[in-house]
Chain A
Amino acid sequence: MTRLTDLPATQAKNLAELPCPEFATRPWVTGPALSERRVAIVSSAGLVVRGENPFRGRDPDFRVIPGDTKADGLLMSHISVNYDRTGFQEDWNVVLPIDPLNELAADGAIGSVAATHYSFMGATDPVQMEPHAREVADRLKRDQVDAVILPPV
């Protein structure tokens, strides 16, 4: 199962036709070469550091994932059951690629890795997420981040 066409017809239709917000603007930020960028991950997989509160349903806020979090310290509390979790169970980098990101920094392909990453619950209403996303943006700026990768799940 690798493509939307491989999913049950009802699930595929629901995913493809999920209501999306209309935006009046098309922001586009440029920056230095990739080798000079400081990169953070902002996931929508409902990730949470072990011991902290998991997402409850469609909570619109976010969880902080320190860059030195160990693999055993990361849990997934996404509301949906309609996606594979066995990949994440074997290797967290399938969802939150902290190890490859650190390798790219060591290789010099990127400038550095952010001190902190973040996770949202992706099935949440984007309008409710907006103030929390803007708070994350402020935190990223304070960490001198100028590039963000956004993996779904």
Chain B
Amino acid sequence: MSALGHYIEEAGIATVALSLIRPQTENTRPPRALWVPFELGRPFGPPSDPVFQKRVLLAALRLLEREDGPVLIEDFPDDDPRAAPDPAWRAPFIPPTVANGDIASVTSRLEAEILLLSGAHQRWVAQTGRTTVGVSGMPIGDCVRYIADWLRGKAPESPREGFSAPLILRFAVDDVKAYCLEAAAAGTAKPSSRQLGDWLWNETATGAGIRALRAAHFDSEDSRLKLIASNFIIPSARLLP
């Protein structure tokens, strides 16, 4: 963001960046930046908290009125109240994951799990009025089939012109993860990202299936597939030792 700020400011428009990684911002030295002590992925802090979000936004915009730059880097003082776990949250019911299940079993259970979560996902859409599923361009059932084909050793073609098959696989995984996480968050409780991530990666067949996908293609001779499977389907913090 700091480089974008430099280019736009150089073109004559005042900018203020939000910073999630203070050392990066200190290195690039943008005209103005507000560092926020929030989790990566949440530059404006807690979801569904418009008062807090507006405070962050206004704190950043106020830097535009300062005259003691460049460079200005200020800190937002308050932590994200939604970072704490919600003890009232309960994961949706799914059959317990079987450790060390073979790949055929994991694939079948992943397919069944997505069907089982469809009711919870419908409740999520009714509750929030939105879904972030859709980046692959395929319906969720097609995403599951595409992933299952790769797990079963097939190499399905890309259904989307201009996008390689490994990249579509990546987006299908993104959509399936989003579908599960949205389904798990349906309801009145406010789970933290860690609660949701722990559930996805430790307790679901979907998490096990994505791990199996990585294991199956980690050493692929297709460099694009190898790159996607190795680095771009499982968060590094969730890789098993």
A8 cross-chain contacts in B, Cβ below 8 A: 236-237
Considering the chains assembled together, what is the distance between the CA atoms of A145 and B13 in angstroms?
8
Query: Contact: A20 with B196, CB < 8 Å?
Result: no
Query: Contact: B132 with A4, CB < 8 Å?
Result: no
B48 cross-chain contacts in A, Cβ below 8 A: 90-91
Query: Contact: B64 with A37, CB < 8 Å?
Result: yes
Query: Contact: A18 with B24, CB < 8 Å?
Result: yes
A86 to chain B, nearest CB (A): 5
A84 cross-chain contacts in B, Cβ below 8 A: 39-42, 193, 197
Considering the chains assembled together, what is the distance between the CA atoms of A40 and B63 in angstroms?
15
Query: Contact: A72 with B16, CB < 8 Å?
Result: no
Interface residues of A in 1-28 (CB under 8 A from B): 1-4, 7-8, 10-11, 15-18, 20-21, 23, 25-28
Query: Contact: A26 with B185, CB < 8 Å?
Result: no
A37 to chain B, nearest CB (A): 7
Considering the chains assembled together, what is the distance between the CA atoms of A109 and B55 in angstroms?
12
Query: Contact: A2 with B38, CB < 8 Å?
Result: yes
Q: Does B106 contact A (CB under 8 A)?
A: no
Query: Contact: B185 with A33, CB < 8 Å?
Result: no
- Interface size for B (C-beta < 8 A) is 89
Q: Does B128 contact A (CB under 8 A)?
A: yes
Residue in chain A with minimal CB distance to B130: A72
Give the size range of A's interface with the partner. 35 or more
Q: Does A151 contact B (CB under 8 A)?
A: yes
Considering the chains assembled together, what is the distance between the CA atoms of A29 and B183 in angstroms?
46
Residue in chain B with minimal CB distance to A99: B50
Considering the chains assembled together, what is the distance between the CA atoms of A75 and B191 in angstroms?
22
Q: Does A101 contact B (CB under 8 A)?
A: yes
A65 cross-chain contacts in B, Cβ below 8 A: none
B59 to chain A, nearest CB (A): 11
Query: Contact: A95 with B24, CB < 8 Å?
Result: no
Query: Contact: A129 with B181, CB < 8 Å?
Result: no
Most buried by A among B61, B69, B171, B181: B61
A76 to chain B, nearest CB (A): 6
Query: Contact: A20 with B135, CB < 8 Å?
Result: no
Considering the chains assembled together, what is the distance between the CA atoms of A18 and B22 in angstroms?
12
Query: Contact: B83 with A21, CB < 8 Å?
Result: no
Query: Contact: A101 with B57, CB < 8 Å?
Result: yes
Partner of A147, one of B18, B64, B237: B64
A2 cross-chain contacts in B, Cβ below 8 A: 37-39, 79-80, 83
B133 to chain A, nearest CB (A): 8
Query: Contact: B235 with A138, CB < 8 Å?
Result: no
Considering the chains assembled together, what is the distance between the CA atoms of A81 and B200 in angstroms?
14
Query: CB within 8 Å of B: which residues of A?
Result: 1-4, 7-8, 10-11, 15-18, 20-21, 23, 25-31, 33-34, 37, 39, 42, 44, 48, 50, 53-54, 56-57, 70-72, 74-77, 79-95, 97, 99-101, 103-104, 109-110, 120, 122, 126, 129-130, 133-134, 136-138, 140-141, 145-153
Query: CB within 8 Å of A: which residues of B?
Result: 1-24, 27-31, 37-48, 50, 53-54, 56-58, 60-62, 64-65, 67, 69-71, 79-80, 82-83, 128-132, 134-135, 162-163, 167, 171, 174, 177-178, 181-182, 185, 191, 193-194, 196-197, 231-237
Q: List 12 A-B contacts (CB under 8 A).
A: A34-B64, A42-B4, A56-B163, A75-B134, A80-B232, A81-B233, A87-B82, A134-B7, A149-B57, A151-B17, A151-B43, A152-B1
Known: A86-B181, A88-B47, A153-B43. 16 other contacts (CB 8 A): A15-B21, A20-B28, A29-B13, A37-B64, A81-B233, A83-B41, A87-B39, A93-B44, A94-B46, A97-B53, A97-B57, A104-B58, A133-B3, A137-B8, A145-B13, A148-B14
